Amino acid sequence: MAKTNAARALDTLGIHYELRDYEVDLDDLSATTVAAKVGLPAEQVWKTLVVRGDTSGVFMAVLPGDAALDPKALARASGDKRADVVPLKEVTPLTGYVRGGVTAIGGKKKWRVVADETIQLHDVVSVSSGTRGLQILIAPDDFVRATSAELADILRR
C-alpha cells in the first residue's frame, strides 16, 4: 500500500493512524458505501466537501458520511452570510484531488477546515487519504490537530 501525502503529513506530525484500502466503485463514491467497504458505521466515515464562503473564500467542511450539510449553519460558523459547496468541476483544480479522494490532511494548500463537532463522539473516524480506495483511520483529536479544524454544528437536522 503506497503512502499518500496525507499519510506522510501525519508521520511528520507523529500522529498514529491506520490505512485501510477498499475496492472503488466509480458509480458509487458515497461515504456510506465506503463505510461498508472499510467495515465502519457510516457516522464514522467522514466526507470532505469543498465550499466557498461569500467573504471567507474557499475552505473545507468535514462531516459524517451519513449526514447532510446545513449551508446556513456552515455560513454562520465560518463568518459568512452564504457558504455553498463548489461545483464538482472546480474541486480538482482547487485541491488537486478527485471526487472520492478529497482530504483536509496534507494537501498542496492548507485550507481552512470546519468539522462538525460530533466528530468528538467517536474513538476513531475514517477520512480519505487523498486517493480513492484508501482511507485513513484516525482519532478525532489527532484529525483536528493535523488540520487545525474548527469545530461547529454544521449538520442539517
Predicted confidence band at 36 (pLDDT cuts at 50, 70, 90)? very high
Class of domain 5-152 (CATH, top level): alpha beta
DSSP characters for 17-80?
EEEEE----TT---HHHHHHHHTS-GGGBEEEEEEEETTTEEEEEEEETT--B-HHHHHHHHT-
Q: Looking at residue 14, what DSSP letter applies?
A: T
- pLDDT tens profile 85-94: 999 999 999 9
Give me the residue spans of the domains in the chain: 5-152
For 87-132, the pLDDT digits (tens) are 999 999 999 999 999 999 998 899 999 999 999 999 999 999 999 9
**What is the average pLDDT across 148-155?**
96
pLDDT of 4 > 90? The answer is: yes
